[in-house]
Each structure stands twice: as structure tokens, then as C-alpha cells.
Amino acid sequence: MGSGSYSSTNRDARLMASFGDSDYYKKASPTEIFKQRTINSAMNPFGVKIRESRDSKEHPNSLAILLALDVTGSMGSIPHHLVKEGLPNIMDSIIKSGIKDPQLLFLGIGDHECDNCPLQVGQFESSDELLDKWLTEIYLEGGGGGNEGESYLLAWYFASKHTSIDCFEKRGQKGFLFTIGDEPALKTIPKSMLKQIMGDGEYEDGSVAKLLDKAKEKYNVYHIHMRQGSNGQRQEVIDGWKQLLGKNLIIAERHEEVSDIITEIIEKSATKISSIDSKKEDMTL
């Protein structure tokens, strides 16, 4: 996966051809855009072994980026923001910053204690058409429960165990993993549940700290905490995330801020990488 390139101009033309309006996503309601009423079979993680972000002639310096979206309750506003304007802003900005070969993979995150579909997985993609496809095929289950959080730890589990990324394996450059939501992270997931979600394999009980540490081995891990709504405003929720992630916890007051936050973090990385590469070149002269 990961072929093709991102073009907002091509995206507008495609929407005009398909819907008669280049601003279709900006005007359409969430129910008009996100039509899945159960998990799309292509995004069902059951039986998935690996998702790959690979270099190619077209994209020789791929950078893996995972966006794990909380699809419970009120958090459906985040996918809607991304498809309306957030995703084009992210892709256009980071490409202009010097990261020419970003490859994004969308995850849908629910609640493994309460929901039917606690994990949904796309593919790493670079083109505007395929990124729109995976984003709009996420099932907004809108579930969750009155328990102690949501299954953000499933994003860390999947990233560590079921992705293979050339940016890290070939160049030692970590990818980026963003979880986005307004709840605490559930503390544990039993191996029986992992088997139920992922299919046959060898599993062990997972703790939030252990799965986070594993994901950090090849990803820069961030959580964007949404302060919208009553859950998001609870100080104990924010404090819990601070204990887990420290400075890699980012607070967003409104969903419109999400794309700018992601862009700024990745652009800072591009500046650092460019500086390191320049120093290496100077040393060889």
C-alpha cells in the first residue's frame, strides 16, 4: 500500500465528478458521509497479520503516521472534521514542510469491554482518494460505556505488533501515532479479548503501560485529549494521561484544533530531521 500522491486539487475535482460539488464533504452531514452501520469487512482486524508502510520509487522516504480515532459517543465529530477540512490541511502542510512521502493509516477505537467493534484498521496510504476511502468507511459505532475509559491501548497494541514500517526499519526514524479522544485509557486487556478481536495467535494479557512502551519503540506516541463535553473536562482524566505521556499529551479545546496540532508536531520533526541530515552532509565534505 501507499502508492499515489496527495493533491487537494485532484480531491476537489474528484468530489465534483462524484457529487457535483467540490465542497461536498464540507456541506454533507456525518450520516451522509459515514454510511457504515456495522464494521466494514475491509477494516475488520480479525485475521490481520501486518499493515505495511514501505518505501518505493514513488515514495523513497516513507513516513508512517497512525491516526487512531475514538468513535464512541460524541467523538464522531473528529472524523467529520478530518474529512471536511482537517485531512487536506494535514497532508498539504506536512508535504510543504519537507516530508514528501507521508503514509497515513486510520484506526477506529471503541471500548473492548462494551462495544461490538472496539478496533477498526485501514491501510497505510498516500493518495487523497484512498485516504478519503478509508476515513469515510470507518464505522461510527457511538458506543462506549459507563466504565473506566476507552480502548486506546488497542492502538498501541496494533502499532507495535501488527505494523512494519520502513522509516524505522531502514532509517531508524520513528513513525507517529496519535490517539484522539476524551476518556481515560482502559488499564488492561485480557489475552482472550485480543484473540477475539485479532483471531488465532499467541497472546498475553496486556497492560496500558506495557503496550504503550512497546509502541514507543518504533513510534512517537501522542494523545490529543478533547476537552469538549463533560468527560473531557474532568481533571482526573487529564492527570491520568499526563502520568502516561507527560509532554506528549496535547489538550485540544475544540475538534477544529486537531489537524493543526498534528501538523505542528510532524512539521517540527521534519525540521529536526532536515537539520540532522545537513550536519551529516557537512561531516562528509
Tens of each residue's pLDDT in the chain, 285 residues = 667 899 999 999 999 999 999 999 999 999 999 999 999 999 999 999 999 999 999 999 999 999 999 998 878 889 999 999 999 999 999 999 899 999 999 999 999 999 999 999 999 999 999 999 999 999 999 887 777 799 999 999 999 999 999 999 999 999 999 999 999 999 999 999 999 999 988 999 999 999 999 999 999 999 999 997 667 888 999 999 999 999 999 999 988 899 999 999 999 876 665 444 444 444 454
Confidence (pLDDT) at 144: 77
- Cβ 162 vs Cβ 49: under 8 Å: yes
Q: Is residue 251 part of a domain?
A: yes
Neighbours of 285 (CB within 10 A): 4
Q: Which residues pair with 178 in a beta bridge?
A: 67, 222
List, in order, residues 6 or more apart from 128 with CB less than 8 Å away.
Answer: 4, 6, 7, 8, 10, 11, 14, 88, 91
pLDDT for residue 273 = 57
Q: Is residue 108 part of a domain?
A: yes
Q: Considering its fold, how many domains does the chain have in total?
A: 1
pLDDT at position 255, please?
A: 87
Q: Give the C-alpha separation, 277 to 271, whole Å.
A: 10
- CATH number for the domain harbouring residue 17: 3.40.50.410
Residue 35 lies in a domain: yes
Q: What is the domain range of residue 120?
A: 8-284
Residue 2 falls inside a structural domain: no
Q: With respect to residue 3, please indicate whether it lies within any of the assigned structural domains.
A: no
Q: What is the pLDDT of residue 228?
A: 78
Report the C-alpha gap between 120 and 122 in whole angstroms: 7
Q: Is residue 60 in some structural domain? A: yes
- pTM for this structure? 0.93
How do beta strands 163-165 and 51-53 pair? parallel
CA angle 134, 140, 141 (to 5 degrees): 135
* pLDDT of the residue at 76: 81
C-alpha grid cell for residue 17? 465528478
Amino acid at 59: H
Task: For residue 202, count CB atoms less than 10 angstroms from its CB and return exposed for 0-12, middle for 13-18, buried for 19 or more.
Answer: exposed
- Residue 1 maps to a domain: no
Examine residue 106 and state whether it is found in any structural domain, yes or no.
yes
